[in-house]
């Protein structure tokens, strides 16, 4: 490793720290991904031997530790115990990422298939391995493609069973959690606007379009196209920003950047 430059040596060290892999495995994965750290993680965790290394018996034992005594599901109390065991807050975004890996249908619930299948796909069969994998799962939020998948997953995951729309308070909580990771400067203004002007459940289309707006429109609205095909709610939000002096002539007000 001494022949490598400082930047590549740092990547090897990061990879080894997060995955627990040997230097040889770290070098192989990083070289295969052209020294892209996120790509190297994907290569490492997608290897079939990693997935097959998860011991089904140990996963059954883990599942039984958290399963609700009156149903064949892991419910809120079990998830709270799991969070305590891996030393994360139940509101930590890593729990959303974990639920995404498990393909969980509903917030605060894991079926046996979701729980065991999700951990198997991550090569996890113990609490120690799950704790070790947390940094990797956090890193997935920095991958644009995975962030989009997790963002879209969050809508169905967070809405009430049988409902087509997402309750406003729940949507606001999810947006604040998700966009804290992507640091969208307008997220608090968007949430305030909804509470003041909309106060209704959020449709899937609005949920999806807001991500496009946040990713494609400059926070100062310098490239906002009033003739674009944005949902009416986003057009109203732009009017709200300008009417309240939050955005003026292609610039955000100093106070709004600090909110």
Half-sphere exposure of 52 (CA within 13 A, CB side): 3
Question: What distances in angstroms separate CA 54 from CA 17, 24, 63, one per listed residue?
Answer: 20, 22, 13
C-alpha–C-alpha distance, residues 41 and 49, integer Å: 14
Task: Sort 213 into a burial class: Cβ within 10 Å, 0-12 / 13-18 / 19+.
Answer: buried
Residue 258, pLDDT score: 37
| Sequence-distant (≥ 6) Cβ neighbours of residue 126 within 8 angstroms | 58, 62
Half-sphere exposure of 4 (CA within 13 A, CB side): 15
- Contact by Cβ (8 Å): 140, 97: yes
Instruction: Count the neighbouring beta carbons within 10 Å of the beta carbon of residue 196.
Output: 10
pTM of the model: 0.77
CATH architecture of 56-140: Orthogonal Bundle (1.10)
Structure confidence by residue, pLDDT tens digits, 26-79? 898 888 888 998 888 888 877 644 445 557 889 999 999 999 999 999 999 999
Q: Which residues of the chain have pLDDT under 50?
A: 48-51, 253-259
Q: Give the H/E segment covering residue 35.
A: none
Residue 48, pLDDT score: 44
Whether domain 6-48 has CATH 1.10.8: the reply is yes
Q: Where are the domains of the chain?
A: 6-48, 56-140, 146-244
C-alpha–C-alpha distance, residues 75 and 103, integer Å: 15
C-alpha–C-alpha distance, residues 157 and 144, integer Å: 20
Query: Domain 146-244 belongs to what topology?
Result: Recoverin; domain 1 (1.10.238)
Residue 81, pLDDT score: 98
Residue 256, pLDDT score: 40
Residue 181 has which token pair? 């990771």
The DSSP code sequence of 220-234 is T-TT--TTS---HHH
* Residue among 230, 231, 224, 212 nearest 249 (CA): 224
Q: Do the two domains 56-140 and 146-244 of this chain adopt the same fold?
A: yes
Residue 24, pLDDT score: 85
Residue 47, pLDDT score: 63
- Contact by Cβ (8 Å): 194, 168: yes
């Amino acid at each position: 490793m001494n022949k490598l430059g400082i930047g590549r040596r740092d990547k090897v060290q990061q990879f080894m720290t997060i995955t627990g892999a040997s230097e040889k495995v770290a070098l192989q994965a990083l070289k295969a991904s052209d020294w892209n750290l996120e790509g190297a993680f994907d290569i490492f965790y997608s290897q079939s031997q990693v997935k097959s290394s998860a011991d089904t018996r140990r996963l059954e034992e883990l599942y039984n530790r958290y399963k609700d005594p009156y149903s064949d599901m892991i419910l809120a109390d079990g998830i709270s115990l799991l969070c305590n065991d891996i030393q994360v807050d139940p509101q930590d975004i890593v729990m959303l990422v974990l639920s995404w890996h498990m393909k969980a249908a509903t917030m605060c619930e894991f079926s046996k298939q979701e729980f065991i299948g999700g951990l198997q796909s991550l090569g996890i069969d113990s609490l120690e391995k799950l704790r070790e994998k947390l940094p990797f799962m956090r890193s997935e939020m920095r991958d644009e493609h995975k962030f989009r998948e997790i963002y879209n997953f969050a809508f169905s995951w967070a809405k009430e069973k049988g409902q087509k729309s997402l309750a406003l308070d729940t949507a606001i909580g999810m947006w604040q959690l998700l966009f804290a990771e992507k640091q969208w400067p307008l997220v608090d203004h968007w949430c305030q606007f909804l509470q003041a002007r909309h106060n209704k459940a959020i449709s899937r289309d609005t949920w999806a379009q807001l991500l496009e707006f946040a990713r494609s429109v400059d926070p100062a609205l310098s490239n906002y196209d009033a003739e674009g095909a944005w949902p009416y709610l986003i057009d109203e939000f732009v009017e709200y920003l300008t009417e309240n002096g939050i955005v003026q002539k292609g610039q955000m007000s100093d106070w709004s950047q600090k909110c």
